[in-house]
Homo-oligomer: A and B are copies of this chain.
Amino acid sequence: MERLDILVTYDVNTISEEGKARLARVAKVCKNYGQRVQMSVFECRVTRAQLEELEAKLLKVIEPDKDSLRIYTLPGGREKCLRTHGQDRYQDFDDPLVL
């Protein structure tokens, strides 16, 4: 089944306790579909159906009048699109694990 690499970026006021709690909930949802690569950036690999499902779940968490949620699809896949510098939390679970 075709899978899409997508990027979820979420902007919330983390000074407020409610904002921190929403960010934690967004992270929890996203981690079921991919991984956290920055504090408020998540890379997920999903089917089209999962993308709709993920989006619907996130819309239940965010406060539209306070937060910003952006979902970008990365046509051709993340490897083709991405340059990363500095700290990189990403772990490719498709790669064989090096011990």
Contact = CB atoms under 8 A, between A and B. Distances in A.
Total identical chains = 2
A71 interface: yes
B76 A75 contact: yes
A81 to B, nearest CB: 5
Given A11-B38, A63-B86, A75 B69 contact: no
A73 B80 CA distance: 8
A22 to B, nearest CB: 11
5 contacts: A11-B87, A38-B68, A64-B85, A66-B87, A69-B84
Interface of A: 7, 9-11, 37-41, 55, 58-59, 62-76, 78, 80-89
